[in-house]
Amino acid sequence: MCGILGTSSNNSAYECYRGLLAIQHRGQDSAGILSFDGIVHQKKEKGLVLNIFNKEELSKLEGSKAIGHVRYPTAGTNTLCEAQPFFLSYPYGIGLAHNGNITNYQDLKLELEEKHRCIHSKSDTEVMINILSEELMKNDTFEAIKGTMERIDGSYSAVMMLPKKLIAFRDPYGNRPLVFGEKTNLDETAFSFSSESVGLDVNGYSLVRDLLPGEAIVVEENNAEKRLLCPKGRAHCMFEWVYFSRPDSVIEGKSVYEARMELGKNIEFEGEGDVVIPVPDTARTAALGFSEKYGIKQREGLIKNRYIGRTFIMPTQVSRDVAVRDKLNVIKGEIRGKRVILVDDSIVRGTTSKRIVTMLKDNGAKEVHMISTCPPIKHPCYYGIDMPTEKELIAARNTDHVAEMIGADSVTYQTIKGLVKAIGLKKDELCLACLNGDYPTHIPEETRSSLTKTRECERTGDM
């Protein structure tokens, strides 16, 4: 799960920089911006946006169009060669930034290598840009994107640059988010694409709408041409509303903040408690909804060090464990001797939950009752979220004993019905595969095994 952004304005690189800052929460491993003014300009490094770019660096990224990326590694490794955007000079210069996961990556990579195309990284984005290159040699822009969609499987939202064109497209099921904005200043009409609406807000763009599943938009000069190329349905990732997106974003016309309020209200809790404590930051809104429903006061019992990144999207368990210890501290007076209702967005591996529960009890909590605003996660995600193996998922092993395994007095999960109701879309418009195993695209068993093995090797460094 990464963040992408594209702009077409007289200040594109700076707008791209500001937009990437707004969606930095989607990826902390690396960041990059590519612009074009007859010459390709690019800057990408490992690290955070604020540390990579400064005024001098941005001044070198000239051009009226730019694309940018913040990376969260799920496919490939976390080295600089996987940092995006990617650029390919043939047939006439293509820049690409991608959010998602190509599930037939290995097959496509072998196909390209048989044609003597050299792949330099383990990134599925590099395979995608090579497929686009092949299609652009045969077709116009829209037909090339359609041909690419027909060849690749999985999830993807992408922003792309060709000479004089800024392009965005979304996979046939719309699994990964992508929104479209517009603004007019004097004689200029500018357009922008972003993984979340906050990437538009910060630069003064009005949210027009989300790209449709299988849709491509080509911006050239002051015009944006839209075509529906390869729609197959709707399978929007439910985890955007649960965890990934900022609460001030609007995804598929649904406010993330309002959805999280409803997630808290839709919890059916049968126990008792003295205080509601959210796990900062993503659970705050849901904890407020839960507190209002049950009339139990909410307090800030856990304080987050804001200079520590999001632990879920860190690449290894060791880095996550260290970050949890560094990130959170307890306000002892709010939890000592109390029955604490601990609200978190989800329980994935259970390791973070266990550390937090232990922290609260070590600091005097009488009881800790865990609330997950997401239903039990029992199945791997193959579409770009870092939960690739069932053995890592605590609920896949034994849902009935999760409380015991994390040291809580009880665990209450959201229901799928409550989740769907809170988001406000139809159940068949959401991807719930990690909850119920119903994947929107066909993933052959050999592909699942290969992806699992690859990710396990990456975690241990045995490549």
pLDDT tens for each residue of 252-261: 999 999 999 9
Task: Residue 366: give the domain boundaries.
Answer: 241-439
Same domain, 229 and 249: no
Same domain, 189 and 319: no
Same domain, 159 and 143: yes
pLDDT, residue 5, reads: 98
Same domain, 366 and 340: yes
Name the pLDDT band for 325 (thresholds 50, 70, 90).
low
Asked if residue 414 lies in contact with residue 376, where contact means CB atoms within 8 angstroms, the answer is: no
Same domain, 211 and 279: no
Whether 462 is covered by a domain: the verdict is: no
- Mean pLDDT in residue range 367-378: 98
pLDDT, residue 313, reads: 45
pLDDT, residue 50, reads: 96
Name the pLDDT band for 449 (thresholds 50, 70, 90).
confident
Q: For residue 46, is pLDDT > 60?
A: yes
Q: Given 235, 256, 277, which residue is the final one in a domain?
A: 235
pLDDT tens for 392-423 read 899 997 888 999 999 999 999 999 999 999 99
CA distance 446 to 15: 42
2 is catalytic: yes
3-state secondary structure of 373: coil
Asked if residue 202 lies in contact with residue 18, where contact means CB atoms within 8 angstroms, the answer is: yes
pLDDT, residue 444, reads: 80
pLDDT, residue 317, reads: 47
Whether 444 is covered by a domain: the verdict is: no
Give Rg (Cα) of the chain. 22
Q: For residue 214, is pLDDT > 50?
A: yes
Whether 296 is covered by a domain: the verdict is: yes
Burial of 442 (0-12, 13-18, 19+ CB in 10 A): exposed
The CATH number for 191's domain is 3.60.20.10
The CATH number for 408's domain is 3.40.50.2020
Same domain, 258 and 202: no
Higher per-residue confidence, 268 vs 317: 268
Written as one string, the DSSP assignment of 106-172 is HHHHHHHHHTTPPP-SS-HHHHHHHHHHHHHTTS-HHHHHHHHHHH--EEEEEEEEETTEEEEEE-T
Give Dmax over CA atoms of the chain in angstroms.
70
Task: Count the domains in the chain.
Answer: 2
pLDDT tens for 334-347 read 999 999 999 999 99
Whether 50 is covered by a domain: the verdict is: yes
Same domain, 48 and 151: yes
Instruction: Of 346, 334, 328, 341, give the one whose Cα is nearest residue 260.
Output: 346
Same domain, 189 and 286: no
- Mean pLDDT in residue range 20-31: 96
pLDDT tens for 69-127 read 999 876 545 578 899 999 999 888 999 999 999 999 989 999 999 988 888 888 999 99
Whether 212 is covered by a domain: the verdict is: yes
Same domain, 294 and 425: yes
- Catalytic member of 2, 16, 230, 434: 2
Whether 203 is covered by a domain: the verdict is: yes
Proportion of the chain above pLDDT 70, given as a percent: 93
Q: Given 167, 201, 235, which residue is the final one in a domain?
A: 235
Q: For residue 15, is pLDDT > 60?
A: yes
Average pLDDT, the chain: 92
Whether 446 is covered by a domain: the verdict is: no
Asked if residue 245 lies in contact with residue 306, where contact means CB atoms within 8 angstroms, the answer is: no
pLDDT tens for 124-150 read 999 999 999 999 999 999 999 999 999
Structure tokens belonging to residue 412: 């209450």
- Mean pLDDT in residue range 188-199: 96
Same domain, 90 and 183: yes
pLDDT, residue 318, reads: 52
To 10 degrees, the CA torsion angle through 72, 74, 79, 85? -60
Structure tokens belonging to residue 379: 């199945």
pLDDT, residue 458, reads: 60
**Residue 318, C-beta contacts closer than 8 angstroms, at least 6 positions apart:** none
CA distance 199 to 222: 20
pLDDT, residue 324, reads: 64
Q: For residue 310, is pLDDT > 60?
A: no
pLDDT tens for 221-238 read 889 999 999 999 999 999
pLDDT, residue 122, reads: 86
- Mean pLDDT in residue range 449-454: 74
Q: Given 235, 257, 292, which residue is the final one in a domain?
A: 235
Predicted structure pTM score: 0.92
Same domain, 401 and 340: yes
Whether 272 is covered by a domain: the verdict is: yes
Same domain, 272 and 203: no
